[in-house]
Amino acid sequence: MKITINNREYNMPENISILEAVKKANIKIPTLCYIEGKEPYGGCRLCVVEVEGSKTLVPSCAVKISEGMKIKTHSEKVRKVRKTIMQLIVASHGISCELNCLTCPKATSCELKTIAEEIGVTKINIPPVEKNLPTDFSSYSIVREPTKCIVCGRCIRTCSEVQSVNIFTFANRGPNTIVTTFMDEGMGNVDCTNCGQCVMNCPTGALHEVYHIDGVWKAINDPEKITVVQTAPAVRVAIGEPFGLEPGTISTGKMVAALRLLGFDKVFDTNFTADLTIVEEGTEFIHRFKEGGKLPLFTSCSPGWIKFIEHNYPEFLPHLSSAKSPQQMFGAVAKHYYAKKLGVPKEKLVVVSIMPCTAKKYEMHRPELAGDVDFVLTTRELAKMIKESGIDFKNLPEEEYDDPFGISTGAGAIFGASGGVMEAALRTAYEILTGKELEKLDFTSVRGLAGVKEAEVEINGKIIKVAVVNTLGKARQLLEKMKNGEVEYHFVEFMACPGGCIGGGGQPIPTTEEVLLKRMEAIYEIDYDSKLRKSHENPAVKKLYEDFLEEPNSEIAHHLLHTHYVARN
Amino acid sequence: MLEEKIFLKSDVEKTMDNYEFLGLKKSLEMKSEDIVKKITDSGLRGRGGAGFPTGKKWEFALAQKNDVKFLICNADEGEPGTFKDRFLLENMPFKVLEGIIIAAYAVKANFGYIYIRGEYSKAIDIFEKTIKEAYHRGLLGKNILGSNFNFELRLIKGAGAYVCGDETSLINSIEGKRGFSRIKPPYPVQRGLYDKPTVVNNVETLTTVAEIMKYEDNIFAKLGTEKSRGTKLVSISGDVKLPGIYEIEFGSGTLKDIIELAGGTKDELNFVVPGGLATSILKYDEINIPYTYEDLENAGSSVGSGGMIVVSQKHDLIDILLNVSDFFVKETCGTCFPCREGNRNIKEILLELKKKGYKEEYKKIIGELREAILLAARCGFGQSSVNFIYSVLDKFFYEEVR
């Protein structure tokens, strides 16, 4: 299809929007309410362009190209209107001394700032609007500051279209329109899963995690405390981004070095307890499989997913693995085994997690789990602390994790990507069930960014059907199908966030599909390069059973490493 | 051309005995395509405000291949200064009903809604009774008047949002969603209520349809001018001696004549809003133009919904502007930034203007806001929300105060 963009002719595929066509022509149009891959919303109007024959400007996100269309993307008229709209947005963003950009949590990832610069807004002729809306501190995971909200609806649409959770809504009318939760109850009092995808999509500082940074600094600086830190699999492939490294740069060694420089006494790896999770969960699967227990077995590592099923599908709760998540297993082992080993009371030990996830902050507070983990920092918070300390992350020499919880396998690493838990579990379950060595370790059909992935494995002549799901929207779809008996599986992995933990709500912003793919690639690279790639072969895990836990699913293992769930409807 | 039958709401049953539904009866003997053609030939344009050719809309809808189509009568009249639909709903409910059924038959819609503004409690009462009685008499339901046409009609009460008069917001509202406009395209005739092809017509439009179909020849097309066919109900209010509803044949007189018809002004005339507050004003010396779509558009205004407000010189202009601005600030839906934030800022500027008097420096920012809202707002509400205010500023402040 022939169209003209800024007096140049282009041949474009049919059925694409003006915005997509312009992008193909290597021109960038500013957008604010637009979410790639989602239905256009047409609220911010920043993406308007001039189309010959149209009286008004045309929103490029919402209008498809047509044969012979003549488009001007940055004409005088367009630039003027964009500038005015941007001024209106900035004025409504509560720009005053108390809300200064300098102190905003999103200061380094603020889309408003970026776009204002791109559009060339240097002066605001419009008086700022005072909103004076109270900040919502009701959630363990996410803080909402409505004063900074520009009512673009991206959180609403992400929560409903991607996650099918629908905790946000618009309220009121006109300039009084706000984004709020059901009956204005606050995020901690509605069916929020704490997944943090709203934070990832918020262009301003109106949504951010509950910061644990101050508490962590206090613990580090307290000579009475021993601080141990664990790092989740998906953090190492993303932590470099805030320091200018390419997405997918494997920064494990630098991260360990940085954590030591921050002052942590021991730096451990959540990958270790990921291996432990696989041994416990794999054993649980084998039990259920052999003895006719509740199948399919659902994985339970993702706390967003757990809260989702507790709210929406309590009838499926018996399907969940009782194994705690790697974060909580680590907390339990640290407080009940490691403290003893060190000969200190567990109160002296402060356990900090570095997680790609906002829901982990909620998870550590669950009554069933509370007390084992003391603080959870997101990847973004860790980056902030490293910056605060003036550490030149990019040029740090690499260091190794501490013993004994620094030893892990490739199977633990792939927990970071959607499909990883399943793949790791299959490697272990296969070998334990058949007693034979698994020849091909890679279950490539469960990898990638597709919403639902399926695979079949033959074990002892029986076909085992597995599925891997990422995003809660897709989880809902699959559970509905399961309810109607349309699909049957033996084992299903669920992750709340797109792409799994690499796309978690605590990861650096922006996390685009392109970024996700790079992080995912890095995760599998770590696996390939590992000497050990099967959880049950982890020598430290084996030793832990010998010294302390006896055997998988033993009484003590059950006491420390397993949990239960609650119906929340 | 509209005959008048005033009655009380208790009279629905009795009065329906005397109403013959001639237009409907004739229509049911015709093919859908022929009805659409007759309406197209009549030159009828939508009477809600946008003025889109009714026949054309029906033609698009009829061409849609879908098992389910909807016909919606838009009775969410909310344009300030406009009250003609209320008059029709309260006084000629059968003719409105007749128009609805004809339209549904013409576009092959088997389900319909009449969406009445919540504040119109009397109209709602009357229409509820009308629908009930119509089912009773076989005018709604299966095999209408012995034909093989089936049509179900339900009444929906609006909750009180001006923007729900916009057809896409109205559709969202019926679906139980927030009254936000939808992005067009797709247009409602392609994908409307519950994603099905949907025709939304105004009350006056449908009433006129019933009248057009009643006659063998196209008397409607013979009235008015070439581009503005037929007659139009004009609601006149403000500083005239005889405010009310007048049926005006297009081109039969000037705006000045219409004001005279309404008894003339009480004090010296200042300006006229010809088509509701979403249209631009015409000053006292601009009203010697014929009342037609084309002449009003040439003068920079519009027929709009026909809500003519006459304003004499005894009012303070800033107070009027603030009043109107307040309306648009209260009623903007909040979806799109230029309309939501722009209208808020216009009001701020007007408040300043009232406090400190006109200042030259307002002009630049006012101009910028106007352009952004006019060119970039998401729906018709936004785009027209600045017409009144800016035409007053242009015609009074820029010239005289400068």
| pLDDT computed for residue A99 by the predictor | 60
pLDDT at A440: 85
Q: Where are the domains of chain B?
A: 2-218, 231-312, 317-396
Identify the pLDDT of residue B225.
94
**Cα–Cα distance, B187 to B401 (Å, whole number):** 44
Three-state SS for B347?
Answer: helix
Nearest to A173 among B333, B337, B368 (CB): B333
Q: For residue B109, with 0-12 CB atoms within 10 Å meaning exposed, 13-18 middle and 19 or more buried, which class applies?
A: buried
Residue A284 bears catalytic tag: yes
B178, B337, B378: residue with CB nearest A170: B178
Q: Which of B183, B185, B340 sits opposite A174 (nearest CB)?
A: B340
Contacting residues of B for A88, CB less than 8 Å apart: 337-338, 341-342, 345, 372
Chain A residues with CB inside 8 Å of B383's CB? 56
CA dist B21 and B24 (Å) reads 5
Helix (DSSP H) and strand (DSSP E) numbers for chain A: 19, 17
A281 is catalytic: yes
Cβ contacts of A84 on chain B, cutoff 8 Å: 338, 342, 368-369, 371-372
All residues at 6 or more sequence positions from A450 whose CB lies less than 8 Å from its CB, including other chains = none
**What mean pLDDT do residues B181-193 have?**
92
Q: What is the pLDDT of residues B24-56, one digit of tens each?
A: 999 999 999 999 999 999 999 999 988 999 999
Cβ A42 vs Cβ A70: under 8 Å: no
> A211 phi and psi, to 5 degrees?
-75, 135
Fold of domain B2-218: Rossmann fold (3.40.50)
Judge whether A117 counts as a catalytic residue: no
Helices (H), A529-568: 539-544, 555-561
CB distance from A68 to chain B under 8 Å? Answer: no
A209-218, A385-394, A469-478, B2-11, range with the lowest pLDDT = B2-11
- The mean pLDDT of chain A is 94
Nearest beta carbon to residue A44 from set B329, B337, B364? B337
**Residues of chain B above pLDDT 90, percent:** 84
pLDDT tens for residues A317-351? 999 999 999 999 999 999 999 999 999 999 999 99
Measured in degrees and rounded to the nearest 5, phi and psi for residue A9 equal: -90, 140
Q: Considering only alpha carbons, which residue of chain A is nearest residue B380? A: A56
Q: Given pLDDT bands bounded at 50, 70 and 90, which one contains residue A77? A: very high
Structural tokens at position B292: 């037609």
User: Are the Cβ atoms of B337 and A45 closer than 8 angstroms?
Assistant: yes
Identify the CATH class of B317-396: mainly alpha
What pLDDT is attached to residue B401?
45
Q: Is B80 helix (H, G, I), strand (E, B) or coil?
A: coil
Catalytic residue among A139, A251, A321, A418: A321
pLDDT of B4 reads 45
- The yes-or-no verdict on residue A107 having pLDDT over 90 is no
Strand B269-273 and strand B307-312: the pairing is: antiparallel
Using an 8 Å CB-CB cutoff, list chain B residues near A81. 338, 371-372, 375-376
Please return the burial class of A477, using the count of CB atoms within 10 Å of its CB with bins 0-12, 13-18 and 19+.
middle
Residue B157 three-state SS: strand
Residue B9 in this model has a pLDDT that exceeds 50: no
pLDDT in tens, A504-534: 999 999 999 999 999 999 999 999 999 999 9
Q: How far is CA A328 from CA A299, A318, A384, A562, in A?
A: 14, 20, 24, 9
- Asked if A85 and B374 come within 8 Å (Cβ–Cβ), the reply is no
A269 to chain B, minimum CA–CA distance in Å?
A: 46
- Ramachandran assignment for A279, one of left (phi > 0), alpha (psi -120 to 50 degrees), beta (any other): alpha
Q: E-assigned strands of A18-128?
A: 48-51, 58-59, 70-72
Asked whether the beta carbons of residue B345 and residue A91 sit closer than 8 angstroms, the reply is yes
Contact A92, B336 (CB under 8 A): no
Nearest-angstrom CA–CA distance, A453 and B188: 37
CA B35 to chain centre: 23
Query: Which parts of B157-251 fold into alpha helices (H)?
Result: 167-174, 203-214, 219-222
Position A138 pLDDT exceeds 70? yes
Q: Domain B231-312: which topology?
A: Ubiquitin-like (UB roll) (3.10.20)
A408-422, A504-518, B8-22, B200-214: segment of lowest average pLDDT: B8-22
With contact defined as beta carbons under 8 Å apart, do B107 and B146 qualify? no
Does A63 contact chain B (CB < 8 Å)? yes
CB-closest option in B335, B348, B383 to A43: B335
A295 touches chain B (CB under 8 A): no
Segment A85-107 mean pLDDT:
82
Strand, coil or helix: A556:
helix
User: B334 and A175 in contact by Cβ < 8 A?
Assistant: yes
- With beta carbons under 8 A apart, name residues in chain A contacting B158: none
Catalytic residue among A50, A363, A381, A493: A363
Q: Do B377 and A125 touch (CB under 8 A)?
A: no
Query: Would the ipTM clear 0.90, i.e. be above it?
Result: no
The catalytic residue among A145, A209, A280, A284 is A284
Asked if A42 lies within 8 A of B344 by C-beta distance, the reply is no
CA distance A68 to A189: 53
* pLDDT band at residue A316 using 50, 70 and 90 as cut-offs: very high
- pLDDT band for position B399 (cuts 50, 70, 90): low
Q: Strand A58-59 and strand A48-51: pairing?
A: antiparallel
C-alpha radius of gyration, chain A, whole number? 25
**Token pair 């929207």: residue:** A473
- DSSP structure string for B359-393: -TTHHHHHHHHHHHHHHH-SSHHHHHTTHHHHHHI
Active site residue A160: no
- Catalytic-residue membership of A301: yes
Q: Are B75 and B208 in contact (CB under 8 A)?
A: no
Whether chain B has a CB inside 8 Å of the CB on A183: the answer is no
Q: What's the pLDDT score for residue A98? A: 62
**Active-site annotation holds for A44:** no
Domain pair B231-312 / B317-396, same fold: no
Identify the pLDDT of residue B6.
42
Verify whether the Cβ–Cβ distance A57 to B341 is below 8 Å: no
> Which residues of B fall within a CB distance of 8 Å from A40?
183
Output the pLDDT for position A503: 98
Q: Where are the alpha helices (DSSP H) in A153-302?
A: 154-157, 197-201, 213-221, 252-262, 270-291
Give the helix/strand (H/E) hosting B328: helix B317-331
Distance (Å, rounded) from C-alpha A153 to C-alpha A216? 33
> What is the rounded distance in angstroms from the CA atom of residue B45 to the CA atom of residue B227?
10
Among B169, B335, B374, the strongest candidate for a mutation testing the A interface, having the largest count of A CBs within 10 A, is B335
CA distances from A46 to A19, A199, A318, B375 (A): 11, 21, 49, 12
Task: Name residues whose C-beta falls within 8 Å of residue A486's C-beta, 6 or more positions apart in sequence.
Answer: none
Asked whether residue B325 carries a pLDDT value surpassing 90, the answer given is yes
- How many C-beta atoms lie closer than 10 Å to residue B195's C-beta? 13
Assess whether A104 carries a catalytic annotation: no
On whether the pTM is more than 0.95, the answer is: no
Q: Which residue of A has its CA nearest to B328?
A: A174
Record: contact A43-B369, CB cut-off 8 A: no
DSSP assignment, residue A97?
A: G
Nearest CA in chain B to A59: B376
- The whole-angstrom separation of Cα A326 and Cα A275 is 8
Is pLDDT above 50 for B402? no
Contacts of A151 in chain B (CB under 8 A): 334, 340
Q: Look at residue A170 and tell me whether its pLDDT is greater than 60.
A: yes
User: Is B340 in Cβ contact with A91 (below 8 Å)?
Assistant: no
Minimum distance, in Å, between the CA of residue B395 and any CA atom of chain A: 23
pLDDT at A445 over 50: yes
Q: Which amino acid is at B378?
A: R
Residue type, A357: C
Residue contact A174–B338, C-beta within 8 A: no
In chain A, residues 17-46 whose CB comes closer than 8 Å to chain B: 40-46
Q: State the Cα–Cα distance between residues B370 and B387, nearest whole angstrom.
A: 9
pLDDT confidence of residue B400: 52
> In 3D, which of B263, B306, B309, B257 has the Cα closest to residue B282?
B309
Nearest residue to A187 via CA among A132, A146, A130: A146
Chain A nearest C-alpha distance from B325 (Å): 12
Decide if pLDDT at A386 tops 90: yes
First to last CA, chain B: 47
pLDDT digits (tens, 9 = 90+) for A354-375: 999 999 999 999 999 999 999 9
Cβ atoms of residues A393 and A258 within 8 Å:
yes
Q: How far is B290 from chain A (nearest CA, A)?
A: 26
Catalytic residue among A9, A36, A185, A368: A368
Q: Mutate which of B375, B378, B381, B384 to disrupt the A interface (most A C-beta within 10 Å)?
A: B375
Query: Is A439 in contact with A422 (CB distance < 8 Å)?
Result: no
Contact A459, A437 (CB under 8 A): no
